[in-house]
Structure 1
């Protein structure tokens, strides 16, 4: 007798969940070791991210729960806060044309690319506009869904860009890295600690995450602890103390969370648009690199700081790479946060404006699908 044909399941999907977690950990460890061998910054982020992508493409069922992911972002926010002081506000105020010009240039470039993708009918309607929006990936995906775009394609474009930016920024950091950079975690995994300072720092991270989750602040698990820790440290009420093993665990969770979002359905759904999406992502990274060159020439910013500051998201992965290199972390995060806020508030208006223009011209591709 002939057996009825059944769709074969990927081998990874057939494994029990404990085995999937073990495989994810093994792939992440291999990725970290390989990246460390070439001295690539943020190997502790990129290795787990690569392992997550492999498992997600194989339809693995494991996912990083939202709370640990948010807590990891909170820890990274406190790490960033160690490089932020209230002086940064004065710096932004003094150089506000520089910050506004840099942010608006990146936003204009991404909007133009989105318009081109939609005009050429590569992607439907405002999906292209949301998909190339720089920074605030999770917030952009949520807003895109609320405004009728195809959130699956938007998610694919956003997280593909995060991966591309992380890899490109790490490679460029490796090229420009001065001797001794990128060795933040090589001084020992378990250095002497002040238990009180560590507990206070973790408490700020946990409290900030709780507030962000309660108020549903976009990117709040990263931003609220970051600002809270920066203010408390500047007032002398907090000594930020984060051991390398805790930062490594946070990088691991962030990398897994990003990688595991590249699920098989998203990859299959976006397969036909992949060449155009990848080309637009690379083009946006290259354009931002051009803006970085202008900062180097006209503002005297060092090349690596300028490149990381203008990189089109995400803020957490850029922060990890910046922290692993000898750059002006406060400038990088100031520009990243400024762009995040502008995207957050201006994004819906830009998408609606372009949608109306497409509608009036009768060239709104995929409009019926977006209204379903």
Structure 2
């Protein structure tokens, strides 16, 4: 039933012209099932494999010239990464100070990106991992829906021709069967090894790195047929949606309005950062909006892949912020929590 509802919703979103309809359909279906008490267990192996596929989707969108792009526009990326990080952590600090959530849970939950890595680190530091997951994935849902709507209306208003995916496109064969074989091996093996090694966001990062090496140095194309992507999108959407079961919502009911208000505020403020990039760095408005969106790199990559944007710019910004968050997240959370404890004392 979940698969059936997901297919119907995805087809409806595609028909409406919403970018990433094949992600939003399964996500909305899973939320409806979970809130309705008909929780379906989505295998973790499927989600890990889907992360590997999305990692390769990101690798395909990042050119080998990324380092030269970084050196040419380092100021733009620095401003984008630091601005979103400061805004997100600032809102987390305020939620903690107002005691919206217990302890330093809000600080971990507000970290901009790398949701799975933040949950692992938060649990290791004694935070309530269920509430951290609630904050992280609620933001991912809000960002996914808002970014998809913004992209949809931007495309409509500018008249940019974007082909709508048809159901028949799912059956299109890959351009290279050996490339497809290599892509699937790297996606499955890379995500499995990344998780086994307990790398932060390893299921996404390790396949992404291997994919860049494969296409840019081994000259083997990353082949991702529509059917493979659709299945990966579904597992990502289901896994996000199933986080919102009745128990988690009951635990977070008191804090939900303030958390949701902080997420909406963060999305608006990050949109303002994108506006600064438009006027200062002359970045395309939709590209700037997606690049500064505080959602997961995987969901933003899916939306960018179906929108007329500079995908290399969007993915470079998202990946850099994800790496920066994983590198500095624990230290920032400890520092902010220590300041709050000192202030309370």
TM range (shorter): over 0.9
**1:235-272 deviations in whole A, cap 9, x for unaligned?**
24312222111111111111011101112111000001
Counterpart position of 1:334 = 316
Are the aligned partners of 1:182 and 1:325 in contact in 2 as well (CA < 8 Å)? no
Extract structure 1 runs of 4+ deviating beyond 4 A. Answer: 184-187
Counterpart position of 1:69 = 47
- The separation in 2 between residues aligned to 1:254 and 1:70, in whole angstroms, is 9
- The separation in 2 between residues aligned to 1:36 and 1:195, in whole angstroms, is 27
**Which of residues 242, 255, 279 is equivalent to 1:273?**
255
Are the aligned partners of 1:41 and 1:182 in contact in 2 as well (CA < 8 Å)? no
When normalised by structure 2's length, the TM-score is 0.94
- Give the direction of change, closer, same or farther, for the CA distance of 1:185–1:301 in structure 2 (3 Å limit): farther
Counterpart position of 1:5 = none
Which protein is richer in helix relative to its size?
A: 2
Counterpart position of 2:151 = 173
Q: Which residues in structure 2 correspond to 1:4-19 (within 5 Å)?
A: none
**1:144-187 deviations in whole A, cap 9, x for unaligned?**
12112222211111110000000000001101125332535677
Counterpart position of 1:219 = 201
When normalised by structure 1's length, the TM-score is 0.88
- The separation in 1 between residues aligned to 2:288 and 2:40, in whole angstroms, is 37
- The separation in 1 between residues aligned to 2:239 and 2:261, in whole angstroms, is 24
Counterpart position of 1:4 = none
**Which of residues 120, 142, 152 is equivalent to 1:142?**
120
Counterpart position of 1:233 = 215
Are the aligned partners of 1:139 and 1:218 in contact in 2 as well (CA < 8 Å)? yes
Deviation for aligned residue 1:39: 1.0
Counterpart position of 2:164 = 183
Count of aligned pairs between the two proteins: 341
**Which of residues 226, 245, 255 is equivalent to 2:237?**
255
After the TM superposition, which of the residue ranges 201-210 and 127-136 deviates more from structure 2? 201-210
Counterpart position of 1:90 = 68
Are the aligned partners of 1:182 and 1:326 in contact in 2 as well (CA < 8 Å)? no
- The separation in 2 between residues aligned to 1:309 and 1:185, in whole angstroms, is 27
Are the aligned partners of 1:64 and 1:256 in contact in 2 as well (CA < 8 Å)? yes
Counterpart position of 1:133 = 111
Counterpart position of 2:32 = 54
Q: What residue ranges of structure 1 are gaps of 5+ in the alignment?
A: 1-22, 364-372
After the TM superposition, which of the residue ranges 39-48 and 86-95 deviates more from structure 2? 86-95
- The separation in 2 between residues aligned to 1:192 and 1:212, in whole angstroms, is 29
Q: Secondary structure at the match of 1:272?
A: coil
Q: Which residues in structure 2 correspond to 1:102-141 (within 5 Å)?
A: 102-141=80-119
- The separation in 1 between residues aligned to 2:69 and 2:27, in whole angstroms, is 34
Counterpart position of 1:196 = 178
Are the aligned partners of 1:74 and 1:206 in contact in 2 as well (CA < 8 Å)? yes
Are the aligned partners of 1:229 and 1:238 in contact in 2 as well (CA < 8 Å)? no
- Give the direction of change, closer, same or farther, for the CA distance of 1:256–1:116 in structure 2 (3 Å limit): same
- What value does the CA root-mean-square deviation take over the aligned residues? 1.6
After the TM superposition, which of the residue ranges 114-123 and 321-330 deviates more from structure 2? 114-123
Deviation for aligned residue 1:281: 0.3
**1:96-143 deviations in whole A, cap 9, x for unaligned?**
222111111111111211121122222222111111111011111121
